[in-house]
Amino acid sequence: MGNRLQSVISDWPKPMVEVNHRPFLDVLVDYFAEFGFRRFVLCVGHMSEVIRNYYSCKAGPLEFVISDEQFPLGTAGSVKNAENFIQSDPFIVTNGDSFCAVNLTQFCDFHLTKKCLMSMVVVESENSADCGLVSVDNLNRIVGFEEKRQKQGYGHINAGIYLFRNDILSFIPPDTKYSLEHDLFPKLINQDSYAFVCREKLIDIGTPERLELAKNFFSPM
């Protein structure tokens, strides 16, 4: 819903906020396209018509499929809602309001080598306040989650980029509001899930202050 950005984008869905004269969602799409991704399923709900209208007019080699939810389904529920549109196994999922310049080829290779149910990009950070943290063991298996603690300190931050084996969809109930972070991931602790550690910066546009930081990050040199 982008509630914390209402002073900036009261009439616009958060992923479509302009970052240096282009929608933030375009920034994400273009980055993934650099690694060979060509088909994008956009899970939309709030103000979905803006995203639908914009991407239905896009020309070029990329394919965009709209998966529209009739009521808020949460981050996991929206993925389940798009199940009939998913054509690959595994498939990649990313948040629409954050960016991390992870090497997606290496991430995919990591996932295929592990042959795991889920791989998650995590970012090492000295400032982990207000971020979802991931606990990993010495083999990079995911052994715990801590959602958005208030104090600062070192931690592995969930970067909001995942590779899922298709059978993960069986863990998500249909037509139900369900969260990746709060409902699904806790079920995967000590199971077949791994963290891909990345040292790139995590950029998100969740607040007006962070949006300004993102604009600076993506500004031309």
Q: Kindly list the domain boundaries of the chain, sorted by start residue.
A: 3-218
Instruction: Report which listed range, 102-106, 145-149, 181-185, 198-202, is most confident.
Output: 102-106
Q: Tell me the residue length of the chain.
A: 221
What local confidence, expressed as pLDDT, does residue 154 receive?
77
pLDDT tens-digit profile of 101-145? 999 999 999 999 999 999 999 998 766 556 678 999 999 999 998
What local confidence, expressed as pLDDT, does residue 5 receive?
54
Q: Is the pLDDT of residue 176 over 60?
A: yes
Give the residue from 109, 96, 83 showing the smallest Cα distance to 168: 83
Q: Are 194 and 140 in contact (CB under 8 A)?
A: yes
Q: How confident is the model at residue 221 (pLDDT cuts 50, 70, 90)?
A: very low
Angle (nearest 5°) at CA 70 between 66 and 89: 45
Ranges 2-6, 181-185, 217-221: which has the least confidence: 2-6
Q: Environment class of residue 187 by beta-carbon count within 10 Å: exposed (0-12), middle (13-18) or buried (19+)?
A: exposed
Q: Environment class of residue 172 by beta-carbon count within 10 Å: exposed (0-12), middle (13-18) or buried (19+)?
A: buried
Which superfamily does CATH assign the domain made up of 3-218 to? Answer: Spore Coat Polysaccharide Biosynthesis Protein SpsA; Chain A (3.90.550.10)
Q: Tell me the whole-structure pTM to 2 decimals.
A: 0.91
Q: How confident is the model at residue 21 (pLDDT cuts 50, 70, 90)?
A: confident
